Structure 1
Amino acid sequence: MSTLRADVAIIGAGIGGMCAGALLSRAGRKVLVLEKSPLPGGRYTSVQYKGFTIPTASWMLLYGTSDPVYLTLEEIGAPPIEMRAPGTPVARYRINGRIYDWPPKGALRYLMEKAAGDPEEANRVMGALAQAMAHPPTESISFRDWLLRSTRNEAIHGIFQAQIATWCGMNAHDLPAREFIRALLSFRGRDTFRIPRNGLKDIIDALGAAVRAGGGEILTRTKATGIMVEKGIARGVTALRGSEAITIEARMVVSNIGPKKTVELAGREHFGEAYLRQAAEMRPAVGMDYLFITDRPLLDFPGTLYTTDTIRKEGWSVPTLMWPEHAPAGKHLLHAFAVPENIDSYDPVREYRILLQDLHTVFPDFEGAGGKLLLRRNFCGEWPCTRARQGQDMSHRTPIENLYNVGDGVKPPGWIVGAGAAQSGRIVAQEIIEALG
């Protein structure tokens, strides 16, 4: 058994752990990142698959130059990464068989007027939203039930369902109303999304370079087997690197593998009943992800088409309109994301059949464009959209001194998906920098 020493040991090289590691390294702390997979990045990177550049899960810097990931790159002094934004329109909505652009201003009101055909109904919903943004609901009510107080128009409900599915991996009848309001507020004043030239791998490579520049390491194919705790204080991590057992003595430990796994590694006896109960009740956000190959692009803009009149309310995009290099010459990617009606119990095969019905509704010339399936994925279990559904995230702090969680099980309120995971890493890095002095 070999022993390594570091100021901070980070378990998991997802975006939360990598942002924390890069910032800590920049601050002069020695960081060791343990990653059980062959490559860092987790669900926030890109890989090559049959000649295509595809994401492992996340596609983009959601908030563009306002994104926590982008801000981290600036703070560590990373070399510029070439990124592209979708331009205008950033999105379109299919409502009752017609396509409408998402305008730069007054978008929700405009779309609801088109959906309802009644400005007064749109005004009523907008008034309720404005009030909720000023005073987010505190009661336990789903967003769908909250919206039903203002409208029963299913086309209007479809607008919000499409957003909730693609942003949160949930349904309007599952998502607490206050959490959707928080998510809406998080987009205020933000930039539009960005996609790097080589996908999110460019981001992970830059963060990894910062860790190594500070004297740290990223140990891939290294699985954490335990978190060492003495008298209520985290002292380091035990791990297996191949067949070799290693011990990492560290002043601080950061876990990027979710609160449940953190408890398993540290031992339940170190956590109070309330913490254990909250971790046990955490449920993942899920979704079905589909990539199709076509001979020509089936959309004429590089943003997202939200469908409100299909069986599932989906988000569709053609990422190769932004970066043609992500596909072989003469080919394009068509991406779709959908959420099952029951996110706790569903049949992926049935969901794929439903998706194909929706595909042919939205793109009747799919076969004529040479369309065929490249890959379909079910984000659930150990590889979910996010480890915690919106509203179920836990604190980044744990009952064990010097042990923190980062990632998509501890997203700060209002933050969603990868941006929320990155923001948790930024928060923890700052707390550790202040604690270590």
Structure 2
Amino acid sequence: MFDPRTIAVVGASRAKGKLGQAVTALLKSNGYSGTIIPVNPSGGEIEGLPAVRSLEEINGPIDVVVLATPVSVALDALETCTRLDVKVVVGVTSGFSEAGGDGNENEIRLRRVMQDAPFRLVGPNCEGVVRPASNLQLTFSPMFNDLRSGPVAMISQSGALGGLMALRLGERGVGINAIVSSGNETDLTAADLLDYLGNNPQTRVVLCYVEELRNGRRFAEAAQRLTQAGKHVVAVKGGRSRAGSRAVQSHTGAMAGDDRVISAVFRETGIIRARESVAAIDAVTALAAGRRPAGNRVGIISVTGGLGVEMTDLAESAGFEVPVLDETTQTALSRYVPFYGSVTNPVDLTGVVLANPTFVGRCLEAVAADPGVDIAIAIITFVPDQQFIEALAEAYDGTDKPVLIVWTGSARSNASGEALRERAVPVYDSPARAASGLAALAATTGEVI
């Protein structure tokens, strides 16, 4: 599924805006190097590729079949797949249990076909599968464009939330191993995918958005194995509220379950629970860097006093220590910090660093080297010079301790953050968001707020 040689798109179309047209176009434009076979009753050529009129016209095995048609056509095609050499079917098509009414009848037929099917089904009602290392963008959504390959695997019952989280992680330089939009999970469930993706040696963190744990015991067991192996599972559980639970039923046809039970299971298995998708992104950003703190002592440097104070309050409220720095560290910092600043912790660099772009990097190096600091945080606002960012990147390279950067004024800066993105340095736009990342670094269980 993640390295297919042949993909057939049932519902491929010449009409812009059709799901099948979007799937075919994105596969091609993102550089997928395998064989793409558009399937359309009119045949001819679609997106510059020769089309077949039906799946039966394809000679040889088909690694992945994508269903992007109205539901009745999709079900007919699914039955056809049972007679062919098909490995995996990805069901983009909607109109099953999530729709109620006629959708329930469609669901019954779907399950009947899948009882003896020789292939596995992703979805239906999903956005597809993405794997940057294979240039595989098997989806109709451009939200997954231009992702880097890396250590984060993602499973999402909501395609749109999966797209949001992937986009935001990509903007921060966090690399993605694979993404599966699991949809209604008629066959393959989040538990199946967690077990498979989590055990991939390239995966360091698994990010999940789930509305129902359809195989809760297996999900918990898989998560516990991963956390015991030193990997991280971050989960957002939809349907926490009464109204949210009702919305879940109409979205993927799922029953949300008792939220208190789910929280208890997450705590017992080491899953880090995020209240919502933004907090999950912040947590994964910190964890994906792969640096583990030796303790909970935080050293903070800031170009402004107020932001340093806020970060300190948030850190201590989350159970971290912000200790006074070692005298040797304070002496080193005094070479760069004026007398009206502070070198204790948090370190107030003052605005003088704006005229001396390398100072911030040297101060970060000094704080990170302090024997009483386990995690270093650097806070900057607008940056007038690219050297500012390069100095922070060099300081990050010079330590193996976790380092978080809070950059509140990137949009007003005369500098690129590419040096930080290349290294997947955790970068946040406010102390509050950095606090979610900070909490994830120390958490083995519990909620990220």
| Range into which the TM-score falls when normalised by the shorter chain | under 0.3
Structure with the higher helix share, 1 or 2? 2
Higher RCO (C-alpha 8 Å, min separation 6)? 1
Normalised TM-score (structure 1)? 0.21
